[in-house]
Structure 1
């Protein structure tokens, strides 16, 4: 185990704890919000979009697991891209991850605030939630895992109640899930898949925690596959039930689809429970997101791609406290202006580019490091590009602009530096 104050993170997490952190990132606000805009995009073909998102997510997860086994250190695809493809590829992955997931943090915080306090006081509650999450993360990663486990257990229990309520009392109809040609074009299906990918992308947090997991070469692949499998089962059950009971049109019209689901099932009495669960789920996702961004930011700061003072690791709690506090401040400011649905699209665009780099990096691995067929990485890469360009135009344009700003920033910083970058593995 790394000694405190060494500048490295301590390996304190078990496989189960890593799985829980990844699952907590996926069983977040996405399951309570993403189905509505996806239904608006694809209509009755929503479930096809869900299947497409799942296939892309599985390919990305396997690529990430294969890479994490070879490079069991903090940074995720930022590290993998640098090691396998070059510094610029790594920077692109890290930059889009940090920016996209910071937007996602703002969306999660706003979900907490809106569900608990309404639109007027929601931003204030969101800022309080961000402050609380950053505090918990700064107290140590094992506390993050424990808090996430409690939240995941509670939220999954509520989702089970929602699904059972819909099946028993909601009059689910087979024709609602029947795919009709006019229910969504190919573009609509891909756009729905891109929006739903927002709800699957949490397994990236497991890879970014690789420097804190015991026996990472075995634990990281198992945790990624385990978390994604659990999330797929939950999303499939919730998605099919919501479409079958509400129908694609009603599902698209509501900003709170699972509240609408229990109401349509004659169970208004549990609607407040669903609202609380949505807020708690968003809080759990926010907890894991801040941890993941902190670790990727730590790796980028170690190489100078972000300001080097952000690479500090707390001598007692062994966490990148400066990076996490910085993220918290940025998110607290962002919640005052961000739009929830727009944040979902923007976050998806950034994270899809992040996984594009992961698939390309995994395709270069050879010998004993290759665990999965090349087809996995090819399908993953093509899927990432297809879903990214199919997202709403505003999200794509914003993503391209932010990517260009990041590239310009790196050019300016590197041009003014007299020393070359160091490897993230040497920090």
Structure 2
């Protein structure tokens, strides 16, 4: 499509209220990053990689920064609610948009229950009865978990301003306690020799460093994209979105890296003589609480127990909002029932928020413990992230004249690198986790097909989904199937380990590049992309009466 005038930045209207400023956006992302991951991530990383776990955090930090840069450009140029579900549709059409949105919704709707379970697991050390001997919720624990979900949902329904202010207060606490923990442990008990104990600096080699990423490291750092999900409610997304995303990631990486250093340094060297299998002792769920108790720091233990509730609860609060925005986006895009896009008088997608609550409650039943969901959620999150660099490159090609308030530098290098990195994390999650996620994706496609068939039988082909752009399956299916095959025969929890070490990583990188360039070639024509962008703006600007409670 040729044009003589520069297309403006995509803006949205009054369907959702633009009341969220820079600090609230950054705190929403940072509040998602600092959750139960800080309480548990250092221990799981150390058990996998020993002293070299600090390299796991550095590697994860680099990967997340690259992905944040990608989201910063997309979020500032196309500021829509539930952005991760809507960006791919702009470039590739309905099927790609639904795929990203469904995977994003799976991870978002599961995180609030995860954070509730983490909070109750810690509190059970003081107030017994929440968790049984297997680490699962008891009947009483399930009741308290449900009440917490009611609280999160209620705050969200009060309006985005309530959410932002509540989250701001919570995040200030969530930053202060980890920083205080780092300072106290380094000054009270720090053994530099611990970093080379238990078999040397990297007792499990590169394999251990990579394996640590999906065991809690990436889970801890994920969530930076929450500011982009709130793009439809940002007061000045063009100016604030990039700063909020990048600022939140930078602070999160610094805090988590410092926590890992302090944790390893504070360990009793006698516990590492036999290796890293149990650096703080069996059955100790709270690593920092255990260390504080060993050092006689009762006051710090009390603060950590309080934070063990506040940090996960704050993250759960944000993710109820996020999952609601994603299902709202799926509805607005014509992929889910229109009722999910109903907006309350306070400007909140209230039906989507209620659905997030119900599904969150249901998630407690098959996944009654923190550990049972972390790897699955990490893989789903990274698949969602993987759509972003492909979309950025495709929109640079098919929508080149649009004003980009933030333009990511070296996009021709960073975009493919970030896509490779995302796929490596998916691979490191292991085949046991991956096949379960693929089952969930297939279920999503079945639901989408049923929903579309019902719509067609009632009303004819829905206007919002006239062009499914089925050709995008020409890169989506090979992408996921290829990663799955390499995972099944690779070196990380494989069905049958056939592919040699390092060759597996090279294969993932090579396959990622093939899919990257194939996807960019299969971007929709310029006129269709322009029409889709205009449609997104029109959908967001519209506020029909039937969408209100």
TM beyond 0.5: yes
Shift of residue 225, structure 1, vs aligned partner: 0.8
SS class of match (1:35): helix
| 1:218 aligned residue | 239
In structure 2, C-alpha distance between the alignment counterparts of 1:44 and 1:98, rounded to whole Å: 35
Q: Which residue of 1 aligns with 2:473?
A: none
Q: 2:281 & 2:246 partners in 1: Cα distance?
A: 31
Q: Does 1:313 align with 2:354?
A: no
Q: What is residue 42 of structure 2 aligned with on the other side?
A: 35
Residues 172 and 241 in structure 1, CA contact (< 8 A), matched pair in contact too:
no
Equivalent residue for 2:393? 363
User: What's the counterpart of residue 259 of structure 1?
Assistant: 289
Q: What residue number does 1:401 align with?
A: 439
Unaligned segments of structure 2, at least 5 residues: 1-10, 132-137, 465-534, 540-549
Q: Distance in 2 between matches of 1:77 and 1:191?
A: 26
Structure 1 length normalisation: TM-score? 0.93
- Is 1:420 paired with 2:420? no
Q: CA deviation at 1:177?
A: 5.8
Q: Write the distance in 2 (CA, Å) between the matches of 1:281 and 1:145.
A: 15
> Is it true that 1:201 corresponds to 2:222 in the alignment?
yes
Distance 1:251 1:186, change over 3 A: farther
Gaps of 5+ in 1: none
- How far apart are the structure 2 equivalents of 1:139 and 1:415? 36
Q: Deviations over 1:70-112 (max 9, x none)?
A: 1011121211110022222221111111111222221101122
1:95 aligned residue: 102
Q: Counterpart of 1:115?
A: 122
1:182 positional shift: 5.4
Report the Cα offset of residue 17 of structure 1.
Answer: 0.8
CA deviation profile, 1:284-327 (whole Å, cap 9, x unmatched) = 00011111111111110112322211110102x10111101111
Q: Please report how far the alpha carbon of residue 392 of structure 1 lies from its aligned counterpart in structure 2 after TM superposition.
A: 4.1
Does the 8 A contact of 2:122 with 2:285 survive in 1? no
Structure with bigger gyration radius: 2
Q: Is the counterpart of residue 323 in structure 1 residue 344 in structure 2?
A: no
More helix per residue:
1
Kindly indicate whether residue 386 of structure 2 is the aligned counterpart of residue 349 of structure 1: no
Structure 1 residue 192 corresponds to structure 2 residue 212: yes
TM-score by length of 2: 0.73
Is 1:332–2:361 an aligned residue pair? yes
Task: State how far apart, in whole Å, the 2-side matches of 1:202 and 1:73 are.
Answer: 17
Distance apart, 1:191 and its partner CA: 2.4
Higher mean displacement: 230-239 or 364-373: 364-373
Q: Secondary structure at the match of 2:19?
A: coil
- Please give the per-residue CA displacement for 1:364-391, whole angstroms capped at 9, x wherever unaligned: 2434534221221111111111111111
- RMSD over aligned Cα atoms: 2.2
In structure 2, the CA distance between the partners of 1:84 and 1:32, relative to structure 1 (3 Å rule), is same
Query: In structure 2, which of residues 257, 261, 274 is the aligned counterpart of residue 236 of structure 1?
Result: 257
Q: Residue 191 of structure 2: SS of its match in structure 1? A: coil
Q: 1:199 to 1:404 in 2, by over 3 A?
A: same
Which ranges of 4 or more aligned residues in structure 1 deviate by more than 6 Å?
Answer: none
Q: Is the 8 A contact 2:50 2:201 kept in 1?
A: no
**Higher relative contact order at CA 8 Å, sep ≥6: structure 1 or structure 2?**
1
> 1:188/1:306 Cα in 2 relative to 1: closer, same or farther (>3 Å)?
farther
- Per-residue CA distance 1:338-369 (angstroms, 9 max, x = gap): 12112111110000000000111112243453
Pairwise CA distance, 1:272 = 2.4
Report the Cα distance in structure 2 between the residues aligned to 1:19 and 1:402, rounded to whole angstroms: 31
